[in-house]
Chains A and B, each alone.
Chain A
Amino acid sequence: MTLLAIVMSGFVIGVLAPWVVRAIGGVAGGRAGVGAGWALAALPATIACFLLSHVPGVAAGRVLSESFPWIPGLGIDLSFTLDGLSLLFALLISGIGALIMVYAGRYLAGHPHQGRLFCFLLLFMASMLGVVLAANVLTLFVFWELTSITSYLLIGFDHRRKEARAAALQALLVTGLGGLAMLAGLLLMGHVAGTYSIPEILARREALQSHALAPAITVLVLLGCFTKSAQFPFHFWLPGAMEAPTPISAYLHSSTMVKAGIYLMARLTPALGSTELWQWLVTGAGGVTMLAGALLAMRESYLKRLLAYSTVSALGIITMGLGIGTEKAIGAAIAFILAHALYKGSLFMVAGAIDHETGEKSVDRLSGLRRSMPLLSIIALASGASMAGMAPLAGFVSKEMMLEATLRSPLLGWLLTGSLVLGAALLVVVAALVAVRPFFGDERPTPRHAHEPPVSLLLGPGVLAALGFLVALAPGVLADPLIGPAASATLGAESHTHFKIWHGLNLALGLSVLGLLAGVGVYATRSRWLGAASATRRLDGMTPTACYHGLLRFVLVFAESQTRALQTGRLRDYLMVIFISTTLLVGYTLFTRVDAPTFDNLAPFYWLDGAIAGLILLSSLAAVTAKHRLLAIIALGLAGLGVTMFYVIYAAPDLALTQIAIEALSVVLFVLVFRRLPDFRSLSTRAGKLRDAMVALAGGAMMTGLVLMATAFPHTESVASELAARAYPEGHGRNVVNVILVDFRALDTMGEITVLAIASMGVFALLNLRERPRTSPIRPHAELRP
Chain B
Amino acid sequence: MNSIILRTATRFLMPLILVFSVVIMLQGHNKPGGGFIGGLLAAAAFSLHALAFDPRETRAALRFDLRTIIATGLLVALGAGIAGPLVGKPIFTGVWTVVAIPGMGEIHLGTPLLFDLGVYIVVIGITVLMVLSLVEQEDAPASSSSKQEGR
Could you give, for residues 85-128 of chain B, a 1 whenever the CB lies within 8 Å of some chain A CB and a 0 otherwise? 00000011010100000000000101011011011001101110
Task: List residues 485-519 of chain A with CB under 8 A from any CB of chain B.
Answer: none
Decide if B131 touches A672 in the complex (CB within 8 Å). yes
Chain A residues in 8 Å Cβ range of B150: 678
Chain A residues in 8 Å Cβ range of B125: 757, 760
B142: min CB distance to chain A, Å: 6
- The answer, yes or no, to whether B2 is at the interface (CB within 8 Å) is no
A777: min CB distance to chain B, Å: 12
A272: min CB distance to chain B, Å: 35
Decide if B126 touches A759 in the complex (CB within 8 Å). yes
Decide if A746 touches B151 in the complex (CB within 8 Å). no
Decide if A771 touches B145 in the complex (CB within 8 Å). yes
**A interface: dominant SS:** helix
Q: How far is the CA of A470 from the CA of B34 in the complex (A)?
A: 68
Looking at B43, B51, B134, B135, which has the most chain A CB atoms within 10 Å of its CB?
Answer: B134
Could you give, for residues 722-757 of chain A, a 1 whenever the CB lies within 8 Å of some chain B CB and a 0 otherwise? 000000001111110111011100110110011011
Report if A770-B145 is in contact (Cβ < 8 Å); known contacts: A676-B137, A732-B110, A746-B81.
yes
Could you give, for residues 527-547 of chain A, a 1 whenever the CB lies within 8 Å of some chain B CB and a 0 otherwise? 000000000000000000000
Binds A, one of B3-11, B25-33, B56-64: B25-33
Q: How many A-B residue pairs have CB under 8 A?
A: 156
A372: min CB distance to chain B, Å: 51
Chain A, residue nearest B117 (CB): A742
Could you give, for residues 33-51 of chain B, a 1 whenever the CB lies within 8 Å of some chain A CB and a 0 otherwise? 1111100110110010001
Decide if A761 touches B67 in the complex (CB within 8 Å). yes
Chain A residues in 8 Å Cβ range of B112: 731-733, 739, 742-743, 746
Q: Contact check: which of A675, A731, A747, A753 meets B91 at CB < 8 Å?
A: A747
Q: Contact check: which of B40, B71, B80, B133 meets A662 at CB < 8 Å?
A: B40
Q: How far is the CA of A753 from the CA of B36 in the complex (A)?
A: 10
- The answer, yes or no, to whether A617 is at the interface (CB within 8 Å) is no
Q: Contact check: which of B77, B108, B148 meets A732 at CB < 8 Å?
A: B108
Decide if A760 touches B116 in the complex (CB within 8 Å). no
B119: min CB distance to chain A, Å: 6
Task: List residues 651-673 of chain A with CB under 8 A from any CB of chain B.
Answer: 653-654, 657-658, 661-662, 664-665, 668-669, 672-673
Decide if A664 touches B29 in the complex (CB within 8 Å). no
Looking at B73, B137, B140, B149, which has the most chain A CB atoms within 10 Å of its CB?
Answer: B137
B17: min CB distance to chain A, Å: 11
Q: How far is the CA of A737 from the CA of B71 in the complex (A)?
A: 25
- The answer, yes or no, to whether A768 is at the interface (CB within 8 Å) is yes
- The answer, yes or no, to whether A677 is at the interface (CB within 8 Å) is yes
Decide if A763 touches B130 in the complex (CB within 8 Å). yes
Chain A residues in 8 Å Cβ range of B144: 771
Interface size bracket, A side: 35 or more
**B interface: dominant SS:** helix
Q: How far is the CA of A662 from the CA of B131 in the complex (A)?
A: 13
- The answer, yes or no, to whether B78 is at the interface (CB within 8 Å) is yes
- The answer, yes or no, to whether B22 is at the interface (CB within 8 Å) is no
Decide if B130 touches A760 in the complex (CB within 8 Å). yes
Decide if A733 touches B30 in the complex (CB within 8 Å). yes
- The answer, yes or no, to whether A570 is at the interface (CB within 8 Å) is yes
Q: Contact check: which of A569, A661, A733, A774 meets B29 at CB < 8 Å?
A: A733
Q: How far is the CA of A741 from the CA of B135 in the complex (A)?
A: 32
- The answer, yes or no, to whether A764 is at the interface (CB within 8 Å) is yes
A309: min CB distance to chain B, Å: 45
Looking at A653, A735, A747, which has the most chain B CB atoms within 10 Å of its CB?
Answer: A735
- The answer, yes or no, to whether A767 is at the interface (CB within 8 Å) is yes
19 A-B pairs within 8 Å (CB atoms) are namely A654-B34, A654-B37, A657-B24, A657-B33, A661-B40, A672-B134, A675-B138, A732-B29, A732-B96, A732-B108, A735-B31, A738-B34, A739-B112, A746-B92, A753-B77, A760-B129, A761-B67, A763-B129, A771-B144
Extra contacts besides A654-B28, A654-B33, A771-B145 (18): CB < 8 Å = A657-B33, A661-B41, A676-B137, A678-B149, A731-B112, A732-B108, A734-B29, A735-B33, A735-B34, A741-B116, A749-B77, A750-B81, A753-B118, A753-B123, A757-B70, A760-B126, A771-B144, A774-B148
Which 6 A/B pairs are nearest by Cβ-Cβ distance?
A760-B126, A653-B32, A733-B29, A661-B40, A672-B134, A742-B112
A residues neighboring B (CB under 8 Å):
569-570, 653-654, 657-658, 661-662, 664-665, 668-669, 672-673, 675-678, 730-735, 737-739, 741-743, 746-747, 749-750, 753-754, 756-757, 759-761, 763-764, 767-768, 770-771, 774
